Structures are given as C-alpha cells and as structure tokens.
C-alpha cells in the first residue's frame, strides 16, 4: 500500500517499474529520457470488465496526489458496480464535451463567424459578435450539449434581453445564435436550428436612424462650433474633415497618410477598411487638401491621420468624435459622427437646378459607398472605384463650397447653391 512518502521518494531506474496501492491503483515510475530528464510518475488504474483486463490513466504525480488518485479509482469502481465500463463512460464524457455549446462557439469563431453575409468580416465586427456571444449566449448555454438545447432555452435568453428594454440587441443575439447553430447542423450535431424557429417572434424593432443636423439653419452653427472646438488636434481635424468626405466614422478615424494620393487629389481607402470590402476613392476638395496640409506636420510621422494620444499603434477611439460633439453641446439625439453622412446625403439629394436634381442620385450613393439595393444587379455589376469620378469630383467640391458659405452665414449665396 502506498504512502505519500513512498510516492515522493520513488526514483527512476533503468527500466519502468510500478508501486502498487490497492483496488487496481498503481504508480508507474518511468526512467529518465530526453523528453523527461528527471523521469516521470504516472497513475494507472487496472480493472476487469466482462472478463477483459482494461486500464485507465489518472494523470501525473505529484500534479495528481495519492489521495486524488484513490478518489478517482473509487469513483471508477462505483461505475463498475453499476455494470458501466469506466472506459466507455470516459469516452462518452469526452464526446459530450466536444459537443457542448462552448466547443461549438469556439469552432464558430475559429472559422471566422460563418453563415452571415458572404464576405470576410472585419476584426471590429468579429469583436462585436464575440462580446454579444460572451454576454448573452455563453453564460446560459456553454455547458449544455448542443443537441439538448431547445427553442425554450433560446427564448428564455431573448426574453430577458427584451425585459431589459434591449429589443434591438435581442434581434441581434437571435441572429447570432442562428448562425452558431447553423454550424452545428453542418457538423452533424443537430438537425433543426432552435434559434431559426424564433424568427419573427420578437417585438418589432424600433426604427432608428443616426441623429443628424440637416436643417439649413442649423448647419452653420454646427460647423462654427466645430471650428471652435478646443480639444486635441487629432480629434479637431477629424471633426473638420467629417462633413466634407462622406465616409463612415470608422473609415475616417482609421485613415492613414499612405492612403492620400496628393498628385491625383484623392483619398484611396483600401477594400479591407471599407464596410463593403471594396476599394473606395474620395476625391479631395480644396478645403480637404488644405485641412490635410495643416494636419500633416502634426501627425504624418505617426502613420495615422488621426493617431491616438496613448499609442502610435492605433488611431483615435471609435467614440472620440461623438464625445467631442457632446462636449460641444450636441446631444446624441441631435448629432452623431455618423450623422455627417446623413447631412450630406439629405442636402445633396435636395439640391436642384431648376426642376432637375443638381446631382444624379447614383453619383451621390456611389460616393456614400452604399451597396446596390438590387442584390442581383450588384452581383453582376463589376465594381470600379473610379466610376462616376469626374461627376463625384465636381460634386465634392460643390459640397465643400456649400459648407463654407453656410458656415459664413452667406444666406443669399447659400440659397443659390441650394437651388
């Protein structure tokens, strides 16, 4: 019978040997090797089941103590007394662990979050999905075997989210769960998707839009407030550029000096930084070029147009522009960083030359980098980043001139520009 002292003092010999405890438990002492220069001690449990000799491993000593090894052997003896083969039980437990929701979720993220829109996701999107998964799905489901998860299990999670007045989040969590379970179907773990069964059962989403200043009388004060912003230069110049370039806040703040084509007066944003994964060209008006020339000596050495003060490895935060607007006195119900796109789109679509639109809607939408609403047409329409470029260049300069006049409160000229 073993003692802690015997286990501790056992030294490796030239050949493996074992020290026997009782009820089939023993400690195998293996000799020194290149892989184990101090030797190694392994717990072994031998038993008979249906007349056949079998063996299980309980791990290494001292990581698994003598008391723990005995506890494990006793548990296995209890299974044998119930006519259950411990080896089969262990295999079943391992298989169930592989089939848990936690394992499925890990596989889902390892594969890049498949079964959504047919394009590679940006890291910021993956991070959002991971946070949603960790906060809402994982706590309730991670230990469950996927095949045992029911529609009711998912419904309970969604009901709690809705009860917290987060209807939009509930819709997004359901959609994420549907994608995860779709992977389970592909892997042969389940036949039916419990999250898909809940499509259309949640309260309707509140239709919300990014708040934006679009009234002609309110644009001037906003632009003058931006000119008077006294925060860091990086945020100040990002705010000044935002009304002129139509890009999304993430595309703006992630801009790099290497993307600026001074010769052609263009900002060329690579596909991997765009929402639709397509290269996008922003013709730069004289006003934008002037702003960049002012910014250049401040940030050019740091690669980013608008680098973070805390690190050269990243740009300003995704909340920097919204925080600046709040500091300027604009609430989230009045104006957001994304609202500059709405401002430009709304006003440009309303501009007229007589009874005709001043700018073709297709040109405006292309400059906004919007996906073609007709999915079939979009599929067969080869994207060209320089499509409508001459018309877009003219429109961008017209828009910057319009903003200058509104900011200067030159009402007569503004009305003329507006139509």
Helix (H) or strand (E) holding 260: strand 260-261
d(CA 347, CA 327): 26
Q: Which helix (H) or strand (E) holds 158?
A: helix 151-163
Phi, psi angle pair for 45, to nearest 5°? -125, 115
Rounded to two decimals, the pTM is: 0.58
Q: Each residue's pLDDT tens digit in the chain (419 positions)?
A: 899 999 999 999 989 999 999 889 999 999 998 888 889 999 999 999 988 899 999 999 999 999 999 999 999 989 888 898 988 878 776 666 678 899 899 999 999 998 887 667 878 788 889 999 999 999 999 989 999 999 999 999 999 999 998 898 999 999 999 999 999 999 888 999 999 999 999 998 765 556 677 788 889 999 999 999 999 999 999 999 999 999 999 999 999 999 999 999 999 999 888 887 889 999 999 999 999 999 999 999 999 999 998 888 899 998 999 999 999 999 988 899 999 999 999 899 999 888 899 999 999 999 998 865 454 444 434 457 889 999 999 999 999 999 999 999 855 444 444 44
Q: How many helices and strands, by DSSP H and E, does the chain display? A: 18, 9
Q: What are phi and psi of 269, to 5 degrees?
A: -95, 120
pLDDT at 275: 80
Q: Are 359 and 348 in contact (CB under 8 A)?
A: yes
The half-sphere exposure of 130 on its side-chain side, counting CA atoms within 13 A, is 13
Give the bridge partners for 269, in sequence order.
Answer: 280
| Neighbouring C-beta atoms of residue 403, cutoff 10 Å | 23
The whole-number pLDDT of residue 372 equals 55
pLDDT at 375: 44
pLDDT at 205: 74
Q: Closest Cα partner for 233 from 273, 194, 291, 289? A: 291
- The domains of the chain, with CATH numbers, are 4-85 (3.30.160.390), 101-198 (1.10.150.130), 216-418 (1.10.443.10)
Q: Give, to the nearest 10 degrees, the angle between helix 389-407 and helix 286-299.
A: 80
Q: Which helix (H) or strand (E) holds 344?
A: helix 339-350
């Amino acid at each position: 019978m073993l003692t802690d002292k015997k286990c501790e003092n056992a030294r490796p010999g030239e050949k493996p040997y074992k020290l026997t405890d009782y009820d089939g438990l023993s400690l195998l002492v293996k000799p020194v090797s290149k892989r184990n220069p101090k030797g190694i001690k392994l717990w072994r449990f031998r038993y008979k089941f249906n007349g056949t000799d079998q063996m299980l491993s309980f791990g290494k000593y001292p990581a698994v103590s003598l008391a723990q090894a005995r506890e494990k052997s006793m548990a296995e003896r209890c299974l044998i007394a119930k006519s259950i083969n411990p080896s089969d039980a262990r295999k079943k437990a391992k298989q169930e662990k592989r089939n848990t929701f936690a394992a499925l979720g890990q596989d889902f993220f390892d594969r890049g979050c498949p079964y959504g829109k047919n394009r590679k996701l940006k890291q910021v999107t993956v991070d959002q999905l991971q946070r949603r998964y960790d906060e809402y799905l994982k706590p309730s489901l991670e230990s469950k075997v996927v095949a045992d998860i029911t529609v009711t299990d998912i419904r309970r999670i969604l009901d709690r989210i809705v009860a917290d007045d987060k209807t939009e989040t509930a819709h997004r969590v359901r959609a994420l769960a549907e994608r995860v379970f779709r992977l389970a179907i592909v892997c042969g773990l389940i036949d039916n998707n419990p999250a898909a069964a809940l499509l259309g059962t949640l309260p309707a989403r509140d239709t919300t839009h990014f708040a934006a200043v679009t009234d002609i009388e309110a644009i001037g004060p906003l632009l003058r407030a931006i000119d008077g912003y006294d925060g860091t230069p990086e945020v100040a110049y990002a705010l000044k550029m935002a009304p002129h370039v139509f890009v999304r806040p993430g595309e703006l703040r992630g801009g790099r000096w290497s993307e600026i084509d001074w010769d052609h007066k263009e900002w060329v944003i690579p596909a991997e930084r765009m929402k639709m994964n397509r290269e996008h060209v922003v013709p730069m008006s004289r006003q934008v070029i002037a702003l960049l020339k002012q910014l250049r000596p401040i940030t050019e050495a740091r690669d980013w147009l608008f680098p973070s003060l805390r690190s050269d490895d990243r740009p300003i935060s995704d909340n920097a522009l919204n925080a600046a607007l709040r500091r300027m006195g604009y609430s989230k119900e009045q104006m957001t960083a994304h609202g500059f796109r709405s401002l430009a789109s709304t006003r440009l679509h309303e501009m007229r030359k007589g009874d005709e639109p001043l700018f073709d809607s297709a040109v405006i939408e292309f400059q906004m980098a919007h996906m073609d609403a007709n999915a079939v047409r979009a599929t067969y329409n080869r994207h060209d980043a320089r499509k409508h470029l001459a018309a877009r260049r003219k429109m961008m300069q017209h828009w910057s001139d319009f903003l200058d006049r509104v900011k200067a409160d030159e009402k007569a000229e503004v009305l003329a520009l507006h139509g």
